[in-house]
Amino acid sequence: MSIKSVILAAGKGTRMKSETSKVLHEILGKPLLGYVLDNVKNITDENFVIVGHCAQEVTGFVNKNYPNSKTILQTPQLGTGHAVSMACPDLEDFDGQVIILCGDTPLIKEETLKKFIDYHNSKNSDLTVMSAIFENPANYGRIIREDNGALKCIVEEKDATPEQKAVKEVNAGIYCLNWSKIKPAFSQLTSNNAQGEYYLTDIIEWGKKKSLKVNAYIMEDNREIFGINSRLNLAQAAKIMNERKLNELMINGVTIVDPDSTWISEDTEIGTDTTIFPFTYIEGKNKIGKHCNIGPCAHLRGGVEVEDYIKIGNFVEVKKSKISSHTNVGHLSYIGDSELGSRVNIGAGTITANYDPISKKKSKTVLKDDVKIGSNSVLVAPVEVEEGANVGAGGIITKNIPAWSLAVTRSPLKVLTDWVKKKLG
């Protein structure tokens, strides 16, 4: 059965105190909305992202990175039920399933969504809501069940009675709908509530009145629905995500010397027997091979592909580069928009000058196999250093260097005897 998604991303996120859309705030180099879209991309055929605040910026992000997704403007913003209704014209003739998610919940896993959909199908449900158990359920809508355990309705906290507020099962904000049966609900919702909004949660009660099969699926890890409403939440979610990634890597044979000071993005792959030293920060999408040493104090900024037996050492920054096996980038260097061959050695303080501030273009540096770069060198891109060539310390390389050559750009050393004594009189 075809599955599509509707992702709610129109809110302003007032508590973020930011001019940037809440869903475009980043964790380890990727916007919150990106995490949600990535976790549905292997499940859905098409995604509809409901935008409002900073709609142009959010649309730009979606269009650039997710070709099977479309943004739909919600204006004015009259609640979550109204937001989903914005997608109804695009889903007019759709007869599959629709999953509804929030764009500010980056911790949700693809595996959890698949289990949720499987549960929906196994129960022959028309509508299933995902729920979670919290010891402190404050600020969440409560799942209200019948005496026999069946789902009755969802009550928003502001509309809940004291008895309902004591319920620990809450709405996770994720729904699976048999669209053709639930679609009519979105033209029949009312705004008779404390907020004067059209609540998405009201489709539960609507479905019950229509004698449709309505269920609730309790998720295993309630941290996955942790929503981002403030900078504090953003930091908390980043820690959860990072811990999850580091644990996964260590279980699979990667040594993390100090998990408390190491940050590695969800989209980074690392091979076995690689060691990540303290204070290393790896963001974006990267692939690191086996038997590598990364750090301490290294920064990989995304788009980095590292083969086996590589050393990226102290205070080295690497961005959008490929590094072949048995190459060392020891310390205090910047490698950007570059391609390094095998058995290359980069001396301390080497910089690939990849950015032209006048044209605002970035160019590539290519170092072939067995190249050696002396300390404090600058490679001004675009430039190629051919196989086996050496660059002397302090070199400023502005043109291609032939294979097995030595490139030296520093002036001859001058020694002025007794110069200091003469100056001191």
Residues 220 and 340 in one domain: no
Same domain, residue pair 220 and 354: no
pLDDT at 330: 87
Beta pairing partners, 282 = 264, 300
CATH for 341: 2.160.10.10
208 found inside a domain: yes
Domain boundary among 225, 254, 276: 225
Same domain, yes or no: 63 and 172: yes
Question: Do the domain assignments include residue 311?
Answer: no
**How many CB atoms are closer than 10 A to CB 28?**
21
Domain presence at residue 339: yes
Q: Which two tokens stand for residue 223?
A: 């941290």
Per-residue pLDDT tens, the chain, 425 aa: give them: 899 999 999 998 899 999 999 999 999 999 999 999 999 999 999 999 999 999 999 999 999 999 999 999 999 999 999 999 999 999 999 999 999 999 999 999 999 999 999 999 999 999 999 999 999 998 899 999 988 888 989 998 888 999 999 999 999 999 999 999 999 999 999 888 778 889 899 999 999 999 999 999 999 999 999 999 999 999 999 999 999 999 999 999 999 999 999 999 999 999 999 999 999 999 999 999 999 999 999 999 999 999 999 999 999 999 999 999 999 998 999 999 999 999 999 999 999 999 999 999 999 999 999 999 999 999 999 999 999 999 999 999 999 999 999 999 988 889 999 999 999 97
The Cα-based distances of 293 to 74, 256, 410 in angstroms read 49, 10, 32
Cα angle value 32/37/43 (rounded, 5°): 150
User: Are both 220 and 334 inside the same structural domain?
Assistant: no
Give CA–CA dist 346/377, Å, rounded.
9
pTM of structure: 0.92
Residues 192 and 328 occupy one common structural domain: no
Residue 20: domain span: 3-225
Question: Do 44 and 169 reside in the same domain of the chain?
Answer: yes
Q: Domain for residue 285, yes or no? A: no
Residues marked active site are found at: 331
Q: Of 204, 225, 246, which residue is a domain's last?
A: 225
Last residue of a domain, one of 225, 259, 292: 225
What is the longest distance spanned by two Cα atoms in the chain?
A: 104
- The DSSP annotation for 331-391 comes to ES-EEESEEE-TT-EE-TT-EEE-EETTTTEE--EEE-TT-EE-TT-EEESSEEE-TT-EE
What crossing angle do the helices spanning 110-122 and 32-40 adopt, rounded to 10°? 50
User: Does 220 reside within a domain?
Assistant: yes
Does any domain span residue 373? yes
Q: Is residue 269 part of a domain?
A: no
In a domain, 63, yes or no: yes
The H or E element spanning position 31 is strand 30-31
Give the contacts of 330 (CB within 8 A, at least 6 positions apart).
311, 313, 314, 316, 345, 346, 347, 348
Q: Look up residue 375 and give its two tokens.
A: 């300390």
Total of domains in the chain: 2
End-to-end Cα distance, the chain:
92
The full DSSP string for 119-176 is HHHHTT-SEEEEEEE-SS-TTSPEEEE-TTS-EEEEE-GGG--HHHHT--EEEEEEEE
- Give the pLDDT of residue 185: 96
pLDDT at 229: 93
Q: Taking a C-beta distance cutoff of 8 angstroms, is the pair 269, 288 a contact?
A: yes
CATH number of the domain residue 217 falls in: 3.90.550.10
Q: What are phi and psi of 169, to 5 degrees?
A: -85, 125
